[in-house]
């Protein structure tokens, strides 16, 4: 937008600037392809010498509006929207690593990302070493190799709810001269901009808080524009791309080399683009991001305090609780709130967890998180069931752990519901 607006204004005005007579609301451009009248212009667009819409896989104005808003929200230079969060995570890595390369990742990452890094990317020749997010800088540096191409972490791990030590991870990235990728899905740009703390790439599952209403899947990759790809480790960014005549991403696109590479090679060749209507719904969800995440955070803190004081509850974990081991880091990095996810255990353990879930009425049993409704789940037997017991514990999943995604319903109703449900067990 060219002005230093604050997040609540960017959430509403960012990414789309209609002129006289144009629709005030971002239109859903429900067309797979576009009319063109100048063959020379079409040739230029194909060769990345001009911007223009030719075909829906390589661009759509509704999707562009979402990308531009997200780049502004995360203080990046450009963004690429994808069909879902997992596609964003995959592309964020495939853009900078190929067979024979290596990634360092926090072990406290989303289950889907863990499986991707541990099982599927190795099939393409990209290996990952997982590190405990609380390991020291020296311990993390020890697992680095000459072919290490990125370090990866999540702002708030799920369901361990550890807050990423941005400065430590950024220092490792700096020392190794590799990009630092952060999944900021749960914190959202309302609570923190990882780029402020040294991240070079920010990814999201927009399916969660960004959309906020659970009516469209989506993902986004934000290019921080703050990494020097011409450092000898990323020749594919510097040398001419064999699928574009004479184009070098670094030389031709400068700060947005990474986003342009993803758009013009990975999106072109692998697809996984968002449907225009999903981009529209995500963009509309973002218009209230600042209101929702503020309320999610307030409600979650109140529920966490209530559960902490309840005699049938054995423990509660929420980054903004003073009793949390993450409290100081949460205060340092997260602006005024800890988002909507909390976890807790009951004194009766796993045996009564299912009973509590059955008793709840305002909060329902749902696998998703980060939308306006309140949800609860038992990750040990569901979302993380594919992992071994040891892996579950490593990623913060304990047998008695219940994960709550606190919605924006009236907090008094949420708490009364827990009170009644707990009474019955
Ligand atoms: C849900 C989620 C993903 C995957 O996103 P999808 O939109 O479900 O593909 C990735 N990272 C985090 C932190 C998530 O919560």
Name the band, by pLDDT with cuts 50, 70 and 90, for residue 1: low
| Å from CA of 207 to ligand 1 middle | 7
Q: Is the CB of 208 under 6 A from ligand 1?
A: yes
Q: Is the CB of 185 under 6 A from ligand 1?
A: yes
Closest CA to 140 of 94, 182, 175: 175
Q: Is the pTM of this model over 0.75?
A: yes
User: What pLDDT does residue 159 have?
Assistant: 87
DSSP state of 116: I
Residues 140/171, Cβ–Cβ less than 8 Å: no
| Residue 154 CA, closest ligand 1 atom number | 13
> Rounded CA gap, 295 and 80, in Å?
28
Of 200 and 160, the structure prediction assigns the larger pLDDT to 200
Residues 175/141, Cβ–Cβ less than 8 Å: yes
Whether the pLDDT of residue 283 is over 60: the answer is yes
| Å from CA of 157 to ligand 1 middle | 11
User: What pLDDT does residue 249 have?
Assistant: 97
Share of the chain above pLDDT 90, in %: 91
User: What pLDDT does residue 382 have?
Assistant: 86
Q: Is the CB of 184 under 6 A from ligand 1?
A: no
User: What pLDDT does residue 392 have?
Assistant: 85
Per the listing, tokens 């190929």 go with 98
| Å from CA of 187 to ligand 1 middle | 13
Handedness of CA 418, 381, 115, 326 (dihedral sign): positive
Report the CATH architecture of 289-423. Answer: Alpha-Beta Complex (3.90)
> What would the pLDDT profile of 375-406 be if each residue is shown by its tens digit?
999 999 888 888 899 988 877 789 999 999 99
Boundaries of CATH 3.90.1150.10 in the chain?
A: 289-423
Whether the pLDDT of residue 224 is over 80: the answer is yes
User: What pLDDT does residue 152 have?
Assistant: 98
User: What pLDDT does residue 2 have?
Assistant: 54
| Å from CA of 23 to ligand 1 middle | 32
> What would the pLDDT profile of 61-84 be if each residue is shown by its tens digit?
999 999 999 999 999 999 999 999
- Would you call 195 exposed, middle or buried from its count of C-beta atoms within 10 A (0-12, 13-18, 19+)? buried
Of 3.40.640.10, 3.30.70.100, 3.30.300.10, 3.40.50.1010, the CATH number of 7-286 is: 3.40.640.10
User: What pLDDT does residue 391 have?
Assistant: 83
Residues 374/406, Cβ–Cβ less than 8 Å: yes
User: What pLDDT does residue 386 have?
Assistant: 81
Boundaries of CATH 3.40.640.10 in the chain?
A: 7-286
Share of the chain above pLDDT 70, in %: 99
Per the listing, tokens 């988002």 go with 339
Of 290 and 46, the structure prediction assigns the larger pLDDT to 290
Backbone angles phi, psi at 50, to 5 degrees: -145, 155
Mean per-residue pLDDT of the chain: 96
> What would the pLDDT profile of 310-361 be if each residue is shown by its tens digit?
999 999 999 999 999 999 999 999 998 999 999 999 999 999 999 999 999 9
Q: Is the CB of 363 under 6 A from ligand 1?
A: no
| Å from CA of 110 to ligand 1 middle | 7
User: What pLDDT does residue 3 have?
Assistant: 66
- How far out from the chain centre does Cα 355 lie? 32
Residues 52/45, Cβ–Cβ less than 8 Å: yes
């Amino acid at each position: 937008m060219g002005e230093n607006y604050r997040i609540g204004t960017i959430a509403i005005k960012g990414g789309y600037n209609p002129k006289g007579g144009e629709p005030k609301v971002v239109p859903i451009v429900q067309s797979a392809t576009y009319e063109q009248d100048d063959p020379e212009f079409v040739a230029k667009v194909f060769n990345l010498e001009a911007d223009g819409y030719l075909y829906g896989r390589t661009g759509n104005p509704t999707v562009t509006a979402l990308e531009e808003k997200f780049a502004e929200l995360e203080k990046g230079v450009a963004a690429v929207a994808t069909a879902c969060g997992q596609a964003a995570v995959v592309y964020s890595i495939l853009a900078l690593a190929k067979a024979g390369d290596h990634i360092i990742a926090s072990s406290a990452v989303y289950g889907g990302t863990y499986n991707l890094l541990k099982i599927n990317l190795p099939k393409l020749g990209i290996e990952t070493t997982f590190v405990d997010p609380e390991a020291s800088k020296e311990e993390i540096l020890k697992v680095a190799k000459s072919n290490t191409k990125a370090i990866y972490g999540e702002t708030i791990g799920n369901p361990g709810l550890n807050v990423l030590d941005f400065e430590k991870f950024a220092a490792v990235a700096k020392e190794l001269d590799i990009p630092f990728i952060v999944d900021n899905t749960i914190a959202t740009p309302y609570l923190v901009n990882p780029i402020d703390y040294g991240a070079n790439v920010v990814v999201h599952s927009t399916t969660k808080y960004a959309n906020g209403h659970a009516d469209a899947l989506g993902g986004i990759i934000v290019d921080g524009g703050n990494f020097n790809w011409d450092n000898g480790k990323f020749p594919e960014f510097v040398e001419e791309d064999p699928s574009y005549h004479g184009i070098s991403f670094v030389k031709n696109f400068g700060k947005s080399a990474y986003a342009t590479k993803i758009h013009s090679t990975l999106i072109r060749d692998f697809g996984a683009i968002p449907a225009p209507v999903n981009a529209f719904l995500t963009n509309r969800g973002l218009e209230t991001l600042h209101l929702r995440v503020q309320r999610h955070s307030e409600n979650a803190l109140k529920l966490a305090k209530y559960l902490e004081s309840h005699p049938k509850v054995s423990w509660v974990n929420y980054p903004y609780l003073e009793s949390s081991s993450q409290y100081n880091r949460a205060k340092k990095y997260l602006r005024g709130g800890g988002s909507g996810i909390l976890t807790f255990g009951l004194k009766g353990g796993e045996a009564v967890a299912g009973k509590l879930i059955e008793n709840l009425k305002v909060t329902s049993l749902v696998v998703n998180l980060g939308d306006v409704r309140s949800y609860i789940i038992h990750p040990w037997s569901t979302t993380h069931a594919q992992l071994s017991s040891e892996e579950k514990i490593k990623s913060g999943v304990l047998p008695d752990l219940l994960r709550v995604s606190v919605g924006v319903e009236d907090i008094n109703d949420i708490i009364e519901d827990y009170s009644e449900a707990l009474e019955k067990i």
